[in-house]
Structure 1
Amino acid sequence: METLRTDCLVIGAGLAGSAYALQMARRGFKVELLALDGPLQANSDWAQGGIIYDQAQDPAALARDIMVASDHTANPAAIDHLIREGPIAVKELLLDELKIGFDRGPAGELDFTREGGHSHRRIIHAKDATGHAILAAVAHRVDEQPAITRRSGWVAIDLLTLSHNSEDLTDKYEPLTCFGAYVLDTSTGETVAIVAKKTVLATGGLGQIFLHSTNQPGSVGHGVAMAYRVGARLMDLEYVQFHPTVFAKKNAPRFLITEAMRGEGGVLVNAKGERFMDAADPRGSLAPRDIVARAIKQELASSGDPGVFLDLSAMKPEFVRDRFPNIYERCLSYGVDITREPIPVVPAAHFACGGVHANLSGRTSVQHLNAIGETGCTGLHGANRLASTSLLECLVSAKSAAIADAAGMAATDFRLPQPRLWESPTREADPVLVRQDMLQIQHTMWNYAGVIRSRRRLTRARRILLELREEVQSFYRGCRLSRELIELRNGIQTALLIVHAASLNPHSKGCHYVIEEE
């Protein structure tokens, strides 16, 4: 087994991981950056709506909007931190350095849009592909840095801790401390140990453990599962946000329909053309996501229809084509001309509001282990995330963690022992069994731990998942590692953690909505 040594190991190359790597490389540290696939294979790349840039507006209004969207459960300190540091991070990196091509008005001024839950137009955007514009520019700058080594197709298996993985048996008496990770190089099938002074979980979300999701393939809560296995503190895992509007035409793939469409005047209607959201909430189609997603589910339950529709008739066709070109083209490729007809939509798993507990500098309960972006949980989102805070959170959490790490690295005496050898069986896993097990996880979570939950549904989900975990663990121990097998192992663990958290919380808040049973 090969062992690599570095200053920083970053697991995940989306916006949070890439921004952290860039910050640390510029401060003179060597970074290993792990990516499941290519530079743009991350949830950040699929973010359509935009990023908050609230310089001109009242910061107190943004704080209120975040708190209200969270169902009054968000961490005030995390909100204040985001509002204070967010505009600086956006201006420094995105506007001044990278000069991201955000949409602008006739005089060159930034164009601001509004999304659900926002009281003002405060979101800047690059058409309907803001995440792509940002991540592409950041990834390009990352790859210009000689201190950063991007490892595409390298998948983290487990974190290294002094308690479990040191060759020195006396290290088990040390405080719970991370010193890197075991990693699978999928191109060779070999396992590598990467020993690092700082390890950063930036693995993104967990939406792919549900049957319908807006997330990239492989988003199964890798960071949450790995952190749990070494004893890190987790928080708020029951709060999984479902995006209300995902394209839902028969025999076509699911893909995100940005909330900015409703911010620009789109409204949700049922199959009869009725605006059902007006009766559900005073804010109508611009209510926070948890409220809209539940209203859609309830509308479908009462009507028996397969989906609802997003009506864009209030917008001029040329505006729709110019403002939302990618969505327009993609819908058209599946036979829906959104300038002439409404878009069929349903909710889908979108964002994990909880995750690995972290402070405002990204520090977890495990020494030298950070969690940033969607993987970390500072309490910013509480029970439900406000639209267009996620990209901003990536930038702010990455910068804050890098500043704290860089300041403490020189003064810290790191214990970096030789890790134990990784031994892996040679028998290949049956891909049919792996796919079937993942499908069982996805169906179970969608049916019993989705938008609307009950005690009985969660009890059934837990029973199914516990039995499946035993099968998966036996399967995992007996087979040669692959990306799919690692995803299955982490997916089943993440699913059980969500169901457990949901079972412990009898109170409906935000994304976690529990119905009373007769």
Structure 2
Amino acid sequence: MRTFSTDCLVIGAGLAGSAYALHAARAGHAVELLSLSGPLVANSDWAQGGIIYETAHDPAQLSRDIIDASDGTSNPAAVEQLVREGPLAVKELLLDELAVPFDRDAAGHLDLGREGGHHGRRIIHAKDTTGHAILTAVAARVDATPRITRRLGWVAVDLLTLSHNAASPADKYEPLTCFGAYVLDTHSGEVAAIVAKKTILATGGLGQIYLHTTNQPGSVGHGVAMAYRVGARLIDLEYVQFHPTVFAGAGGQRFLITEALRGEGAVLVNGRGQRFMDDKHPLGSLAPRDIVARAIREELAASGEPCVYLDLSALKPEFVRERFPSIYDRCLAAGVDITRERIPVVPAAHFACGGVHTDLAGRTNIRGLNAIGETACTGLHGANRLASTSLLECLTSAKITAQADAADLARGDFRLAQPRPWKSAARIADPLLLRQDMLQIQHTMWNYAGIIRSYRRLTRARRILLELREEIQSFYRDRQVTRELIELRNAVQTALLVVHAAALNPESRGAHYVSEESA
């Protein structure tokens, strides 16, 4: 088994992981950055709407909007940190250093957009491909920065801890400590160990444990599952946000339809053309996502129709084509001209508001292990995330955690060990069974732990997933490690954790809605 040593091991190369790598390398530390696939294969790349920036005129209103969207459950300290530090992080990295091409008006000022839950225009954007514009610039700078080694196609298998993986028997008596990870090089099939002074989970979300999602392939809660297996504290996993508007045209194609369309004046209507959101919330179609998603589900249940619609008739066709070119092109390719026709939409799993619990400097309860971005949970989002806070959270948490880690490393505050050798199996898992098991997880979560839950549904989901986990673990023990097997193993564990958290919480708040209809 090959063993590598580094200062910082970053598991995940989306915006949070990439931004952390930049900050850590500039502080003089060696960084190993694991990418599942290419530099732009991350949920960050698919973010459409934008990133919050303009808060100077009324930062207190942004704080209120975040807390209101969370149904009053956000951590006030985390909210205050984001509102105070977030715009500065955007200015320093994205505007001043990288000059990300955000949209501007004729006078050269940043064009400010609005999305659901916001009481004002404060979101900067690059057409409707903001995440792609940001991650492209950040990834290019990562690849040009000394001391960062990007490992394409390398997948973390398990975290290394003194309790579980150290060669010396005496190390198990140390406090719970992470010192890196076993990782799979998918090109060679070899499992190696990367020993690190700091290990940072930046694996993104968990949407792919659901049948319908806006998330990239592979987003199955890798960080949550790995952290759980070594004893990290998890929090708020029941709060899985469903985005209300995902394209639902003929042919089964699914892709995100940004909330910024509603911010510019589009409205939700049912099959009869009625604006059903106006009597659901004072903000109508711009209500927080959890409210809109449930309203759509109720509308569909009552009508029996397969989708509702986004009506853009209040927007000029030339504005739609200029402001939302990507959505216009993708819908047109699917047979819908959004300058003339309504967009068919349904909700889909979108964002994990909970995750690996950290303090405001990214620290978990395990020494040497941090989490940032969507993988982490500081309580910022509470029970429901406000639109366009996710990219801002990635930048802010990456910067603050890297600064705290640099201070720790300067003090020599770490504990390393020699890892035990990895034992590889010879047998190969049946790919048909792997695909079928993943589909069973996704159908189970969609049907029984989706937008509306009940005790009976969650009980059934838990029973199905427990049996499936046993089957998968028997596979895992005597089969060669592959990316597909790692994803399946982590998906079933994450799904069980979400179901368990949902079953423990009888109170409907934000994205977690409990129905008594089948209790």
- TM-score normalised per structure 1: 0.99
Alignment of 1:287-302 (within 5 A): 287-302=287-302
Residue deviations 1:340-394, cap 9 Å, x none?
0000000000000000001111000000100000000000000000000000000
Residue deviations 1:117-158, cap 9 Å, x none?
000100000000000000000000000012000001000000
Displacement of 1:54 in angstroms is: 2.4
Alignment-derived partner of residue 267 in structure 1 = 267
Pair 1:503 & 2:503 matched: yes
Residue deviations 1:168-219, cap 9 Å, x none?
0000000000000000000000001000000000000000000000000000
Query: What are the ranges of 5 or more consecutive residues in structure 2 without an aligned counterpart?
Result: none
In structure 2, distance between residues paired with 1:314 and 1:46:
26
In structure 2, distance between residues paired with 1:442 and 1:116:
28
Structure 1 runs (4+) deviating above 3 angstroms are: none
Residue deviations 1:80-123, cap 9 Å, x none?
00001011101000000000110001100000010000001000
Q: Secondary structure at the match of 1:126?
A: coil
Do 1:114 and 1:120's aligned partners in 2 also have CA atoms closer than 8 Å?
yes
Displacement of 1:414 in angstroms is: 2.8
Pair 1:146 & 2:146 matched: yes
Alignment-derived partner of residue 397 in structure 2 = 397
Q: Secondary structure at the match of 1:345?
A: strand
In structure 1, distance between residues paired with 2:380 and 2:347:
23
Displacement of 1:249 in angstroms is: 1.0
RMSD (Å) for aligned C-alpha atoms? 0.7
Alignment of 1:57-456 (within 5 A): 57-456=57-456
Larger deviation: 418-427 or 431-440?
418-427
Displacement of 1:413 in angstroms is: 4.5
Displacement of 1:245 in angstroms is: 0.2
Displacement of 1:279 in angstroms is: 1.8
Do 1:241 and 1:289's aligned partners in 2 also have CA atoms closer than 8 Å?
yes
Alignment-derived partner of residue 489 in structure 2 = 489
Do 1:177 and 1:366's aligned partners in 2 also have CA atoms closer than 8 Å?
yes
In structure 2, distance between residues paired with 1:139 and 1:61:
33
Q: Secondary structure at the match of 2:73?
A: coil
Amino acid at match of 1:48: Q
Alignment-derived partner of residue 19 in structure 1 = 19
In structure 2, distance between residues paired with 1:363 and 1:188:
33
Residue deviations 1:26-48, cap 9 Å, x none?
11100000000000000000000
In structure 2, distance between residues paired with 1:87 and 1:280:
32
In structure 2, distance between residues paired with 1:57 and 1:118:
14
Do 1:252 and 1:334's aligned partners in 2 also have CA atoms closer than 8 Å?
no
Displacement of 1:253 in angstroms is: 1.8
Larger deviation: 185-194 or 417-426?
417-426
Aligned residue-pair number: 518
Amino acid at match of 1:414: F
Displacement of 1:424 in angstroms is: 1.8
Alignment of 1:457-476 (within 5 A): 457-476=457-476
Residue deviations 1:57-93, cap 9 Å, x none?
3011000000000000000000000001011101000
Percentage of pairs with the same residue: 76
In structure 2, distance between residues paired with 1:484 and 1:277:
41
Displacement of 1:56 in angstroms is: 3.4
Distance 1:311 1:413, change over 3 A: closer
Q: Secondary structure at the match of 2:9?
A: strand
Residue deviations 1:276-320, cap 9 Å, x none?
111211211000000000000000000000000001010000000
Alignment-derived partner of residue 55 in structure 2 = 55
Q: Secondary structure at the match of 2:278?
A: helix
Amino acid at match of 1:264: E
Displacement of 1:55 in angstroms is: 3.5
Query: What are the ranges of 5 or more consecutive residues in structure 1 without an aligned counterpart?
Result: none
Amino acid at match of 2:437: D
